[in-house]
Structure 1
């Protein structure tokens, strides 16, 4: 289903934004060749092998960037932000480069201890290293700043975005979580993650952060790391599991599943909201009706857009 959607999106992008191409590496003159406002596909070297990255270059050649992270079912051939939302249209006139890392299926965009032992994974996920070292260094060859970036993610990508921002304040100027699970150390949530990751690719959560109680769990918990986010503009959104008009056209089974997942996301958002309030840290936290699905995250991105542009100094 997603491959068909990607093909349609590619056709639209070719007609609207110009040809979709792939580059193995930038050259010294790459910055001058970046087609302002155009969509492009890159192939970026990493310790995990070549990683596809889709980009929409800043409309006027600016250096600011917004990284957008997918959810647990991240496809291998495109970003769902490109195929399932209007993110490209939302920022098409803005002087900020949109960066869509492709892949990361069940990865939580983190550095794993070792390859997953339950699905014969041939390499170790090192997504934090990629997103904060390898990819920024590569994009710098195209004139993209390594210190004036924003990051946001949906579902799995939500907590990841907050944690990456907390641990790499020299890179990120804004963090956003849309229906993210912001408190993975919450009692029994590790088992919920285990079940979800097993269902989505037979991944073993113990190979990611170790067993419960391992320090990696606390390092990757946005509630626990909230103090590290002080001074950073943040936008956190979540539904409460109650379907709204957006859900009317969806299958009953999909809506029911999205209701349960969003109820969990709401708990995490509320805990995070209470934690930052207790610490005296400003953050915009919006919770309302809605389920765990892309149309809500598209709406959340639109709500966050003014904050993102302001944080990056984009006019």
Structure 2
């Protein structure tokens, strides 16, 4: 299903250098641990296992999971469903992995995240769903890297983490996943790479055409700001692995998956952004939002041409902010994720 809320406005492109600088600034700027008490945790013999669970509140846990594919421990925020037998909704972090990358701005570690920047617990308080949001993975795109064994996040999210969550929280095994900006395309790609793992996927102002030459260059430059090479992620830019992980090139593999994809057509600041009074036009954020809007539209067009139903929303306002991401997530729950999970 396609839904257009407002016709897209034309915009004037600046020089390539200024466009790239703006792209990097906003991605790097994307979006506290409380006192907790450790408790006993599940520890299946071998493989991925839970190493620790800390109770922040009666429904909010911080679950530490050992990932054998990466030989590291990843902390995951978990908002527990009010009853057992509930589905699970996974939410990926942005380019910063939940930590602050803004010079001169303070956010406690792990708080520039879904649980720190949005009202996840208020919005889903009465919904029978477990919400799971992993932390970390700065500049990883939350995918499997072909030349870096320390970054195998697709394996973690599709094979290692869900069985542990299912067991620990007695879920019904039905899963959905959403991502913002750099991980929006990744969330949809999980359904392509791991058929049957996720019943629904959501992209919130995400990049859904990564193998496009300009998009691949932008991704490469973004990762370089973290000291990383995009060729270590998916090989030569635009090559076979980039195409394999490009949602717009693999829409036929999304048959049977409920898909939501949204972005702001204009990049204009609006109430949805929740920016302080007098903040200004958010030029960099608006520029990036228009890029992801074009990418999202191309994905929706490809899905429609292939006969794959997608809930596509072109919003009239929003400038690549946590306010916009949260609003898109909430809309995805109401229109796509919740119904697909039966929650």
TM-score range for the pair, normalised by the shorter chain length: 0.7 to 0.9
Aligned mate of 2:290, from 263, 267, 288: 263
Distance in 1, Cα, partners of 2:145 & 2:119: 31
Deviates more, 1:245-254 or 1:66-75: 245-254
Cα RMSD after superposing both structures: 2.6
**Are 1:280 and 2:296 matched, yes or no?**
no
Q: Distance in 2 between matches of 1:275 and 1:34?
A: 44
The 2-side partners of 1:72 and 1:197 are apart by 9
2: CA distance, partners of 1:251 / 1:166: 42
Q: Distance between the aligned counterparts of 1:20 and 1:285, measured in 2?
A: 40
1:224 matched to 2:249? The reply is yes
- C-alpha change, 1:251 and 1:99, in structure 2 (3 Å) is farther
After superposition, the Cα gap between the structure-2 partners of 1:291 and 1:135, relative to the gap in structure 1 and judged at 3 Å, is same
* Alignment-derived partner of residue 140 in structure 1: 166
Which ranges in structure 2 are unaligned for 5 or more consecutive residues? 1-30, 45-49, 100-108
Separation of aligned partners in 1, 2:129 and 2:54: 13
Query: Structure 1 segments of 4 or more deviating over 6 A?
Result: 33-37
For the Cα contact (< 8 Å) 1:244–1:290, is it kept in 2? yes
Q: 2:136 is matched with which residue?
A: 103
Equivalence for 2:212: 186
TM-score by length of 2: 0.77
Distance (Å, rounded) in 1 between the aligned partners of 2:281 and 2:203 = 22
Structure 1 residues without counterparts, runs of 5 or longer: 11-18, 116-122
Instruction: Note the C-alpha offset of 1:21.
Output: 4.5
8 Å contact from structure 1 (residues 37, 60) kept in 2: no
SS of equivalent to 1:171: coil
Using the TM superposition, name which of 266-275 and 302-311 deviates more.
Answer: 302-311
2:74 to 51, 63, 70: 51
Work out the CA distance in 2 between the residues paired with 1:253 and 1:202: 31
Aligned pairs (5 A) from 1:1-315 = 6-7=32-33, 10=34, 20-22=36-38, 25-26=41-42, 38-46=59-67, 47-48=69-70, 49-76=72-99, 77-78=109-110, 80-115=113-148, 124-145=150-171, 147-199=173-225, 201-240=226-265, 241-247=267-273, 248-249=275-276, 255-288=282-315, 289-306=317-334, 307-314=336-343
State the secondary structure of the residue aligned to 2:200: strand
What secondary structure does 1:52 align onto? strand
Asked whether the 8 Å contact 1:24–1:42 carries over to 2, the reply is no
Q: Give the TM-score, by structure 1 length.
A: 0.84
Q: How many equivalent residue pairs?
A: 289
| Alpha-carbon contact 1:185-1:221 (below 8 Å) kept | yes
Q: Is the 8 A contact 1:25 1:138 kept in 2?
A: no
Deviation of 1:37 after TM superposition, in Å, equals 6.6
Report the Cα distance in structure 2 between the residues aligned to 1:232 and 1:250, rounded to whole angstroms: 40
Which residue in 1 is equivalent to 2:23? none
Preserved contact between residue 39 and residue 55 of structure 1 (Cα < 8 Å): yes
Deviation of 1:224 after TM superposition, in Å, equals: 0.4
